[in-house]
Structure 1
């Protein structure tokens, strides 16, 4: 049997009107697929489903919001607690209370140690200083002048300077006085140390030699202008807190130590007056201050 030809002259894959063999489903290639899209849900049932979904989303949002509010409240409460504890601790630390014995001593030491800077020069060296004259009569020495602040090593003899520098002498303050009778001249020097312990070490090592000590300061045009190294009759020192107060004295007329008999040097009223003036200035500097009873004044 011969195969049928199409109108185009080409043989067909199969005979007759049966299905074409090149389509495994047996359907004509020109036919449309019978699969249809699912129609969208409509009506009351679809609306109910949508409402349930919206309600579930709303409940979840409300739950998340409650969790967020709970976390936020916890953070606020915790922060408030921390602030409250800190405030209570700060109040307990800064509230006024009685000073302990150690705090009172520290207050005194700090107040005394800063006086050489806190006080004016006229406070360290008053205009008049009381001393004891003949027959222990109270007299007053008058300040002639105050010297510029000087390095410790340049305001004392070399033998003394070595010891002062070894223990950290900070500076030297000096002033010159004349006695009430205008017969004697005195130079007082205040050596400043970092603390009382350093000053005490110096006093243990200084040699007991009344020929060396603070260098005299003369002021031209005054009764003190002839007071120099050779005119020093005696020198000495006294410790007070972190200060070492030197004193030296001589005669207004300029007589030298070599010109004065040794017995006069030892028994003259000049030296008791010089010591008394130095002691007075040391007393002013180291006089214990009034300590407030509480950390914030007089009220605890």
Structure 2
């Protein structure tokens, strides 16, 4: 029996409606899952950001320095001084020393030499050791004693760090004939102070620095012209050592360390 067209159309419309309703319900379910996934992703991102912010705040907030951090602060501050201080800070205008009868006297700075390569400012045997241990540069200045009888050149060898300095000083000999080369300034009382006029030389270690000193007579007397007995008992060498030690002390004097990572307030 053939179906009537009207009844067939109604059944087709009903099928389409059911299909559309099923598709709509499926779309709603998909949308719900999509919204849930987006919300979850946003929540996870927000959590990551909050954790990062909390970590950043914890890392950057002011806190007390540890013992290791305090020691590193001191070492880095001392190691920078040859660059951050003016030349007149490394080599003060006056340096006190102990003279005869333990009287306190002052050596006066005559001049400061240009910065130079380490090997060019010391005797060859010393220069080889400094070069092997990474000497960065040499700073030198010349002083006269309070009576302008003695002339002293002080040289500051800058090593990479304190460990390099310790390794270098372990190899330096105690030969008082070699060390820093004198710097004379024409037209001054120091103009006759050359290599042959050095009576004795020496050095002292301080932080990443080796502070060399040498002394001689302002009148140009050579080491060969001075009796050994006079060299050993002259006021010249104690004064030279005292001046070198004073400059080493200035350079390696421990700085005041702030108690916190951001200053004085934790």
**TM-score normalised by the chain length of structure 1:** 0.81
Query: How many angstroms does 1:39 deviate by?
Result: 4.6
Is structure 2 residue 213 aligned with structure 1 residue 244? no
Corresponding residue SS for 1:114: helix
Query: How many angstroms does 1:170 deviate by?
Result: 1.6
Greater helix share, structure number: 2
Query: How many angstroms does 1:43 deviate by?
Result: 7.9
Corresponding residue SS for 1:139: strand
| Aligned position for 1:117 | 83
The Cα offsets for residues 99-158 of structure 1, whole Å up to 9 and x where unpaired, read as: 111111111111111211222222111121121122222222111111111111111111
Query: How many angstroms does 1:73 deviate by?
Result: 0.2
Is structure 2 residue 136 aligned with structure 1 residue 166? no
> Aligned partners of 1:240 and 1:174: how far apart in 2?
16
Q: CA RMSD in A?
A: 2.2
Corresponding residue SS for 2:241: helix
Is structure 2 residue 161 aligned with structure 1 residue 156? no
| Aligned position for 1:299 | 265
| Corresponding residue to 2:177 among 184, 196, 211 | 211
Query: How many angstroms does 1:267 deviate by?
Result: 1.2
Is structure 2 residue 143 aligned with structure 1 residue 177? yes
**TM-score normalised by the chain length of structure 2:** 0.91
Corresponding residue SS for 1:144: strand
Query: How many angstroms does 1:47 deviate by?
Result: 6.1
> Aligned partners of 1:194 and 1:215: how far apart in 2?
22
- Between stretches 218-227 and 134-143, larger displacement belongs to 134-143
> Aligned partners of 1:77 and 1:204: how far apart in 2?
62
Higher RCO by CA contacts (8 Å cutoff, separation 6 or greater): 2
Q: 1:40 to 1:194 in 2, by over 3 A?
A: farther
Gaps of 5+ in 2: none
Corresponding residue SS for 2:247: helix
How many residue pairs match? The answer is 265
> Aligned partners of 1:135 and 1:106: how far apart in 2?
42
List aligned pairs for 1:1-300, cutoff 5 A.
39=5, 51-300=17-266
Query: How many angstroms does 1:93 deviate by?
Result: 2.1
Query: How many angstroms does 1:53 deviate by?
Result: 4.5
Q: 1:76 to 1:41 in 2, by over 3 A?
A: farther
> Aligned partners of 2:19 and 2:72: how far apart in 1?
77
Query: How many angstroms does 1:64 deviate by?
Result: 2.2
